[in-house]
Amino acid sequence: MKRALITGITGMDGSHLADLLLEKGYEVYGIERRSSSKNRINTEHLKDKITFLTADLTDQGSLLRALRDSNPDEVYNLASQSFVYASWKMPEQTGDVTGLGVMRILEAIREYGKPIKFYQASSSEMFGKVQETPQTEDTPFYPRSPYGVAKVYGHWITKNYRESYDMFNCSGILFNHESERRGIEFVTRKISDGIAQIRTGLSNKIVLGNLDSERDWGYSPDYVEAMWLMLQQDTPDDYVISTGETHSIREFLDVAFNYVGLSNWEQFVGQDERYMRPAEVDYLRGDSTKAREVLNWKPRTSFKDLVEIMVESDIKKYRKENDRS
């Protein structure tokens, strides 16, 4: 039985990855930060199937102890300060966790001494002000946020340790991907949750920022499969994971509101400059040819299906709450 250690296991990707690894017969350990109240909403269904360990990407000693307690064959580093908008409010904390945190866990693995396959969650936000379209593994980075800058550091330190210490390190440059487990502060979940509140009579307005941003959106369960596939190869490498399609926030709203029978979403959606980024990333579209050819991976969930899955999940959530009350 293989053993895997996942940082950020209570997040969207972490919980979906845990589902996948359990299906494949892994023994799964998950790192969570110490806090006065545990946020295990995404992993509630896994509470008797995985082992939680307490550690933090800002504390290398705690990461080494987590390695000793789990003795993993594979480590998936999915933890970070992951909200791009918040990275301008907390640039130092973002750099410490999302950037230097990667170095700390790599150092902990090196000190532990056992051969461990390592996955780093890189991001399309590293491309920022895109230098070419579509973006590939060789496209130059031009990050446009403290989050993007921190992710570039994490990406390059992963590659550096691979080349310097012959470690099996892979980075997945994942383009935007969502699911029904996405945090409520992200625009896609803000839309699906807002529509669910409108449909259940709890609200009549959704307030957003830039509606013209265009993203390459996929479905998280499809993307965590790519993470796993990277660590099953004979040689470590980096891969762009994307759908190759681009959709705007307006298109997301079109699909989401049409799903609930509301065609004129403009009457329900407002904009607020407080939700605008100081430096915007306007257009992202990835080329995942390498992943398709080497990993034999491709996305299975369409943009339309992704949006409808999220909206339906939030509607069911509010209906259950109404039934209980």
DSSP string, 42-100: TTGGGTTTSEEEE-BTTBHHHHHHHHHHH--SEEEE--S---HHHHHHSHHHHIIIIII
Residue 314 to residue 250: CA distance in whole angstroms: 20
- Cα separation of 214 and 248, whole Å? 4
Given 27, 32, 125, 180, the catalytic residue:
125
Contact between residue 204 and residue 191 where contact means Cβ atoms under 8 Å apart: no
State the catalytic residue, choosing from 123, 171, 179, 220: 123
DSSP label at residue 135: B
Q: Which residues pair with 271 in a beta bridge?
A: 208
3-state secondary structure 98-123: HHHHHHHHHHHHHHHCCCCEEEEEEE
- Provide the token pair at 144: 């446009």
Active site includes 318? no
Catalytic residue flag (residue 147): yes
Q: How many CB atoms lie within 10 A of CB 219?
A: 22
Sign of the C-alpha dihedral computed for residues 308, 309, 311 and 315 taken in this order:
positive
Phi, psi of 271 (to 5 degrees): -120, 150
Q: CA 260: distance to chain centroid?
A: 27
- How does strand 214-215 pair with strand 247-248? antiparallel
Choosing from 26, 29, 119, 147, the catalytic residue is 147
Question: Does residue 275 carry a catalytic annotation?
Answer: no
User: What are 283's strand-pairing partners?
Assistant: 214
Amino acid at position 138, single letter: D
Rounded Cα–Cα distance for residues 167 and 106 (Å): 9
Which two tokens mark 83?
């909200």
| CA separation for the pair 142, 125 (Å, rounded) | 9
Q: Which residues are catalytic?
A: 123, 125, 147
